[in-house]
Amino acid sequence: MLSIPQSKDALEQAIRDAHAELMLDYRAVPEHMTPMKNVRTKIRRFKTGKGIR
């Protein structure tokens, strides 16, 4: 469980830390996984059976 900070400043700092961690994870993802807008077209192509060949 995450510990809940008492003061507003501590809370904001915790949020900033968590966000920075998230962004690092996001950058660690391989390039082809990164752009979210491509996922929809990939799914659409997959559904039509014309998948990416």
pLDDT at 51 over 60: no
Q: How many domains does the chain have?
A: 1
pLDDT at 14 over 80: yes
pLDDT at 53 over 60: no
Measured distance between the N- and C-terminal CA atoms of the chain, rounded to whole angstroms: 44
pLDDT at 34 over 60: no
Domain carrying residue 41: 8-48
pTM over 0.85: no
Per the domain annotation, does 1 fall within a domain? Answer: no
Per the domain annotation, does 3 fall within a domain? Answer: no
Contact, 32 vs 39, CB < 8 A?
no
* 6-14: Cβ within 8 A, 24+ apart: none
pLDDT at 13 over 80: yes
